[in-house]
Structure 1
Amino acid sequence: METALIIGASGGIGSALVHTLEKREVKVTSLSRSADGLDVTDEASVKAHLDALSGPFDLIFVATGALELNGRGPEKALKEIEPEVMLEQFRLNCMGPALVLKYSARLLPRDRAATFAALSARVGSIGDNSLGGWYSYRTAKAALNQMIRGASIELKRTHKKSICVALHPGTVSTPLTAKYAGGRETHTPDEAAKDLLSVLEGLGPQDTGSFFDWSGKPVPW
């Protein structure tokens, strides 16, 4: 890998990805809301920022997303569902990566391996949902997974060696997720970045359209 584009580069995982890749002497282009004004929920913003890039990028990684928005955490019951909260979750966690892919597909090389990856979450798995709750976040991530699956099919037609995948980073130790970690194993952002890059390094075109966790194990849709 020689070049990479990291979207959401100011976040915990995003900044760790930038740092890890740069240590490996990968030429990294980074974009974020705080540093560059990129708003992945605003199509005009996404288009303007990505149209300004020439690429190509061997890796495009979307590390945006949030469990809490505007102080609203995951719902525990149906009665807690609020339409605007659900829509905001969808805008950030599904529509955002979809818009990035819409305007960045042209930046992926067609003559060699190229990877597009987006952060998903195991709780977005329909098959692995045995607890319920967390309706808005789960639904938004499940929608992201479907978007990735569909996009992988389209990309394959023009980018024969492309890999388009959703990734579950595990529970990463950040201030925002601390209260939801419970007794689960946690990873530092640096550990998560290294694990996710290791997973991507082990994938081939035959793995496109799939969903993997931080250890490389497939996650059910």
Structure 2
Amino acid sequence: MAGEAGRALVIGASGGIGAALVTALVARGDQVVGLSRSGDGLDVTSEASIARVLGGQEGVFDTVFVATGALEIAGRGPEKTLKALDAAALAAQFAVNAIGPALVLKHALRLLPRDRVAHCAVLSARVGSIGDNALGGWYGYRAAKAALNQLVHTAAIEVARSHPKAVLVALHPGTVATRFTAAYQAGHPTVAPATAAANLLAVLGGLHPADSGGFFDWSGAGVPW
């Protein structure tokens, strides 16, 4: 279980946050499997790829992190106006930031233990909160993360029936100083990936099955839907 040594699985292990999570989990004594597109050919936009890579895993994992995502896709950054909307770019955002993680959950469910507490977190973002949106803009990324939050919440309801001790949540890591956010850090306090990983593990380790389906930030506070 999170907070204790066990087996951990990190999807997106080559990214800034994913790599830091692997390091932190190893440091606390977990046996860690880190999977990524660059290292293992796990492409979240391809269910066949997800099924192949996760199908090769055996046993169960006490902690699962889905740390994939993209802000810029194919060179297209966040839209600032309705005029900038593009159907293909919107579809790409949903494929990477919503559909991909949901398919990972689909194929990772069999890797969660049924007889004890297990923690599964999917990296979301505060900008995916509809209730907290006071600035507008960033249409595709916001919408994809909002969809991801709904998918996680809905999955948690189902997972509770087969894995009553499981904790499945969406987590906002804050603005982390990675290549992912390099061009969008102005005016936002940032934290190093190692700090973000420590925060996320601390929050996840403090959550219980009754919290499953929730959306929490790096401090453990709930984020509005």
Provide the TM-score with structure 1 as the length reference. Answer: 0.99
Contact 2:126 2:172 (8 Å CA) reproduced: yes
- Asked if 1:174 is matched to 2:178, the reply is yes
Alpha-carbon separation, structure 1, partners of 2:154 and 2:58: 25
SS at match of 2:170: strand
- Asked if 1:121 is matched to 2:102, the reply is no
SS at match of 1:116: strand
- Asked if 1:200 is matched to 2:201, the reply is no
Give, as a single letter, the amino acid of the residue that structure 1 aligns with 2:34. Answer: S
- Asked if 1:29 is matched to 2:33, the reply is yes
Give, as a single letter, the amino acid of the residue that structure 2 aligns with 1:51. Answer: G
Counterpart of 1:108 in structure 2 is: 112
Deviation larger for 178-187 or 162-171: 178-187
SS at match of 1:187: coil
SS at match of 1:140: helix
Offset, 1:55: 2.4
Aligned residues: 221
125, 136, 139: which is aligned to 2:140?
Answer: 136
Alpha-carbon separation, structure 2, partners of 1:204 and 1:180: 34
- Asked if 1:12 is matched to 2:16, the reply is yes
Alpha-carbon separation, structure 2, partners of 1:174 and 1:12: 6
- Asked if 1:211 is matched to 2:210, the reply is no
Counterpart of 1:220 in structure 2 is: 224
Which consecutive unaligned segments of at least 5 residues does structure 2 have? none
Offset, 1:65: 0.1
SS at match of 1:186: coil
Counterpart of 1:187 in structure 2 is: 191
Query: Alpha-carbon deviations, 1:186-213, whole Å to 9, x = none?
Result: 0100000000000001100010000000
Q: Could you list the runs of 4 or more consecutive aligned residues of structure 1 that deviate by over 3 angstroms after TM superposition? A: none
Counterpart of 1:97 in structure 2 is: 101
Root-mean-square deviation (CA), in Å? 0.7
Give, as a single letter, the amino acid of the residue that structure 2 aligns with 1:131. Answer: L
Alpha-carbon separation, structure 2, partners of 1:173 and 1:38: 24
Offset, 1:54: 1.1
Which consecutive unaligned segments of at least 5 residues does structure 1 have? none
- Asked if 1:72 is matched to 2:82, the reply is no
Provide the TM-score with structure 2 as the length reference. Answer: 0.97
Give, as a single letter, the amino acid of the residue that structure 1 aligns with 2:109. Answer: A
Offset, 1:71: 1.0
Offset, 1:176: 3.3
Offset, 1:146: 0.1
The percent identity for this pair of structures is 61
Alpha-carbon separation, structure 2, partners of 1:204 and 1:133: 34
Alpha-carbon separation, structure 1, partners of 2:59 and 2:108: 9
